Amino acid sequence: MPAPAPDLTSTQPRPVYVIGAGPGGLAVAAALRARGIRAVVVERSDAVATSWRGHYARLRLHTTRRLSALPGLKIPRRFGRWVARADVVRYLEKYAEHHALELVTGVEVTRIERAADGEGWTLHASGGRLLAAGAVVVATGFNHTPHLPDWPGADSFTGRLLHASGYREPSPYAGRDVLVVGVGNTGAEIAVDLADGGAARVRLAVRTAPHIVRRSTLGWPAQRTGILVRRLPVRLVDRLGALVAKASIPDLSAYGLPRPATGLYSRARQGAIPVQDVGLIDAVRTGRVEPVAAVASFDGDRVLLADGTAITPDAVIAATGYRRGLEALVGHLGVLDDRGRPLAHGPRTTPGAPGLYFTGYTNPLSGMFRELARDARRISRALAR
């Protein structure tokens, strides 16, 4: 079990407070502990890995087990090459226990401010708590706040409308007509899950055609390619990606899913990660998943699409992404860009906020868990200085 909760009102000595008990926060805390630096993880829910507990049951890591381990503990071999959601949760629970992390649950940090004496930070937390920190690592997660577009007429929709964060498994949709909105990895995988799980009809609303890659080719995972190309010129990677796509991914234009007009790496640098094929290609070619135009608006039982057509699905599942949700916490400190993303990441800090670190707010081709592990080591080195 995690170590007993510390006295949250104590100011001597001032620990490093890590906000969020997901993989990023746990990794930083373990790396700091390994260097003899006291770190206290504060989590608003009642357990670690809250985000992973809430994901749909079918989900697996799209990165390999070996390249996804956090500092100081390997992922068990029995979990397989592509680790299932439930096993990710088990691993993170074991990780906190293995490293004897100081973990405080049920406490939400709502605002971070510079300490009055100029040394460190003051954290405002639930229950009126004021926590004195020598440094702070914000690790509340990439998927913090579900984003549902403000579609005209959405309130009038007589079917079921939910964000993908509320989807768990396909049985409630058996025999139903379902529209999935968004063709990122989440939308693609939920659409396939519905088709495999007995939905009568599955349509996938596409605004921008995605890049699709094989998760693994002849045993070589796409993640390793993502690691290798990180420092290559964008245009070169775009050209190489186009060649690989033509050789390995069939042209789905006839099915309503054309090849994208922009390069793979150019899109990735803007935050659009390629879709790893876990059944989408076959589902589209066999008609079990039907790509359609983007959603424009709702009208009663109808969904109006951008191409002027109207459909009447029983349910709409919006795989429309998340917001980082950092504005209330740190927006007043000048550390976010105009899209609410940290200006500095990993071991770097902004000039006006020394000792305030962020991890887990990018979605790299090289794999989220791998980069969280790298961030943890780098942040711990920076704080050890």
Are 120 and 60 in the same domain? Answer: yes
- For residue 371, the Cα-to-chain-centroid distance in whole angstroms is 12
Answer whether 263's CB lies under 8 Å from 235's CB.
yes
pLDDT bin (cut points 50, 70, 90) of residue 4 is very low
Q: Could you tell me if 155 and 20 lie in one domain?
A: no
With respect to residue 211, please indicate whether it lies within any of the assigned structural domains.
yes
Range of the domain at 219: 147-322
Are both 231 and 130 inside the same structural domain?
no
Closest-CA residue to 49 (of 18, 80, 88, 76): 88
Q: Which pLDDT score, from 0 to 100, does residue 5 have?
A: 46
Tell me: do 247 and 271 sit in the same domain.
yes
Q: Is residue 1 part of a domain?
A: no
Question: 298, 322, 346 — which closes off a domain?
Answer: 322
Verify that 318 and 329 share a domain, yes or no: no
Same domain, 228 and 120: no
Name the band, by pLDDT with cuts 50, 70 and 90, for residue 219: confident
Residues 168 and 294 in one domain: yes
Confidence of residue 298 (pLDDT cuts 50, 70, 90): very high
Q: What percent of the chain has pLDDT over 70?
A: 97
* Tens digit of each residue's pLDDT (9 = 90 or more) over 227-283: 888 888 999 999 988 998 899 999 999 999 999 989 998 888 877 889 999 999 999
Distance (Å, whole) CA 179 – CA 76: 37
| Distance in angstroms (rounded) separating the CA atoms of residues 139 and 28 | 9
> pLDDT at residue 49 above 70?
yes
pLDDT tens digits for range 10-24:
444 799 999 999 999
CATH number, residue 236: 3.50.50.60
pLDDT, tens only, 339-376: 899 999 999 999 999 999 999 998 888 899 999 999 99
- CA pair distance 61, 185, nearest whole angstrom: 11
Tokens of 329: 């916490």
Interstrand relation of 39-43 and 102-105 (parallel, antiparallel or unpaired): parallel
Taking the model in full, what pTM does it have? 0.90
Confirm if 176 and 314 have CB atoms less than 8 A apart: yes
In a domain, residue 6? The reply is: no
Give the amino acid at 18. Answer: V
Chain-centroid distance of CA 230 in Å reads: 19
